């Protein structure tokens, strides 16, 4: 049996060389379909990995109390997130004092979502996020210092003009390897002394983890105040096993702070650090379905092209088929020969497409800072899909070849 298959594969390669141009075009069509499938899905796996990494950096044992529901709205028909009345500074501070669970709470607020930071004659793009936070903000939001120090309690209390900046701010303002520590930068209309530089968190998924400047909370309250300014409370539990208990205690405490009556729904939102990651990955799952459909449609076109080539091949090799039948080849042998040939052409196209797809997918992975990805599931799926396409496209031509009358075939010119 093995020798029979090997012989058919040898005949297949001889036939492929005999009609190289048509076979090459079909191989390219198949490889494009597989490349689209494997490339897009590899890139999606890279994006998922990047999202998970980004939100893991926020801490698996942290949660946030905010005044609006966490939601992703896609298109005009998407559901709007619920928005509650602003969380005031007094409410946030009272919560940190009343919250008796063994966890670390911190208070923060957004000063600017698209700010510009200056140093001398240099300035950043207007896409820097400026936050105000207390001395616990970095720990509860997953930031770490690369150099310098954190805010002191006195600096937060008196609203000192000090700042901790992210990697991209440093790269934009201090281009000659100048040490940013103790330098004076301009944020808004105020001057701030840089006391710390954050470790890189990456900017995948467009969240700008390195495009950030952190100021003291009371400084932001004084110089970036706005109507209905809302504050966010981050809570860092001692470990992940205590998360549910910490959340339940926080809900009870904040309901008292917000004067929510018994039986009424919460007028605030509890968001775990991995909630948004799960939402994004769920939406990306739809892209996976779309990529699969695109790949299958392309392969369907390739199957039609391959079937056409095999039918032409049957016509051109009618005399050859007659000779094989005359010397004893059975219908099964002729049918197997053409089926194997179709599968071989598909597998060549599939392997080329898998290689190209992995290259394209991993180029995107490299840009996102994710390691090299080998999508074994999609590789195996691509090979099996090519096998199916080859059988589908080659079955009718193979049956037609096997049913040729040997005498008529020998007389064919």
- Averaged pLDDT of the chain: 81
Are residues 237 and 71 in contact, defined by beta-carbon separation less than 8 angstroms? no
Query: What is the structure's pLDDT at 219?
Result: 94
SS3 288: helix
Average the pLDDT over 357-377 and give the result: 77
Least confident piece of the model among 61-65, 314-318, 364-368: 364-368
Distance CA 209, CA 140 (A): 14
Q: CA-to-CA distance for 236 and 257, rounded, in angstroms?
A: 19
CA-to-CA separations, 243 to 59, 69, 237, 249, 251, in angstroms, rounded: 11, 19, 6, 10, 12
CB-CB neighbours of 21 under 10 Å:
7
Task: Report the C-alpha gap between 372 and 194 in whole angstroms.
Answer: 36
* pLDDT one-digit tens code per residue, 162-189: 999 999 999 999 888 889 999 999 998 8
pLDDT of residue 72: 46
Q: What does 166-229 look like in DSSP terms, one character per residue?
A: -HHHHHHH-TT----TT-EEEETTEEEEEEEEEPP---GGG--TTSEEEEEHHHHHHHS--TT-
Mean pLDDT of 398-406: 80
Quick one: tokens of 362? 């991993």
Question: CA 42, CA 381: separation in Å to the nearest integer?
Answer: 13
29-63 residue pLDDT tens = 788 878 877 887 777 777 766 666 555 555 567 88
Check residue 63 and give its pLDDT: 86
Residue 204 confidence (pLDDT) above 50: no
What confidence score (pLDDT) does residue 90 get? Answer: 93
Residues linked to residue 128 through DSSP beta bridges, in sequence order: 115
* Predicted pLDDT of residue 203: 53
Indicate the pLDDT class of residue 283, thresholds 50, 70 and 90. Answer: low
**Band (198; pLDDT cuts 50, 70, 90):** very high
Are 163 and 192 in contact, with CB atoms under 8 Å apart? yes
Highest mean pLDDT (candidates 39-43, 81-85, 255-259): 255-259
């Amino acid at each position: 049996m093995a020798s029979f298959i090997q012989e058919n594969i040898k005949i297949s390669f001889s036939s492929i060389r005999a009609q190289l141009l048509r076979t090459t075009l079909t191989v390219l069509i198949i490889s494009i379909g597989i490349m689209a499938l494997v490339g897009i899905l590899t890139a999606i796996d890279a994006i998922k990995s990047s999202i998970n990494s980004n939100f893991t950096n926020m801490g698996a044992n942290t949660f946030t109390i905010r005044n609006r529901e966490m939601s992703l709205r896609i298109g005009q028909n998407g559901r709007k997130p619920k928005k509650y009345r602003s969380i005031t500074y007094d409410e946030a501070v009272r919560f940190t004092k009343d919250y008796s669970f063994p966890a670390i709470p911190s208070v923060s607020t957004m000063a600017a979502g698209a700010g510009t930071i200056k140093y001398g004659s240099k300035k950043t793009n207007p896409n820097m996020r400026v936050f105000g936070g207390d001395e616990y903000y970095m720990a509860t939001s997953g930031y770490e210092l690369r150099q310098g120090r954190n805010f002191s309690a006195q600096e937060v209390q008196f609203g000192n003009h000090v700042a901790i900046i992210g990697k991209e701010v440093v790269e934009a303002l201090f281009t000659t390897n100048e040490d940013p520590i103790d330098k004076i930068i301009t944020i808004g209309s105020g001057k701030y002394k840089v006391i710390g530089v954050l470790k890189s968190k990456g900017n995948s998924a467009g969240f700008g983890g390195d495009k950030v400047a952190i100021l003291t909370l009371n400084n932001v309250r004084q110089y970036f105040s706005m109507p209905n300014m809302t504050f966010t409370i981050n809570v860092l539990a001692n470990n992940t096993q205590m998360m549910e208990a910490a959340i339940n205690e926080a809900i009870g405490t904040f309901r008292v702070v917000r004067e929510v009556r018994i039986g009424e729904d919460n007028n605030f939102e509890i968001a775990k650090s991995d909630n948004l990651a799960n939402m994004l990955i769920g939406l990306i799952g739809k892209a996976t379905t779309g990529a699969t459909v695109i790949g299958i449609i392309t392969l369907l076109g390739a199957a039609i092209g391959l079937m056409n080539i095999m039918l032409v091949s049957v016509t051109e090799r009618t005399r050859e088929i007659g000779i094989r039948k005359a010397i004893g080849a059975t219908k099964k042998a002729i049918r197997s020969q053409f089926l194997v040939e179709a599968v071989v052409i598909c597998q060549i196209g599939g392997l080329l497409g898998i290689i190209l797809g992995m290259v394209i997918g991993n180029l995107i992975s490299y840009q996102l800072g994710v390691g090299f990805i080998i999508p074994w599931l999609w590789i195996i799926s691509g090979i099996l899909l090519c096998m199916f396409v080859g059988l589908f496209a080659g079955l009718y031509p193979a049956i037609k070849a096997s049913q040729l009358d040997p005498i008529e075939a020998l007389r064919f010119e």
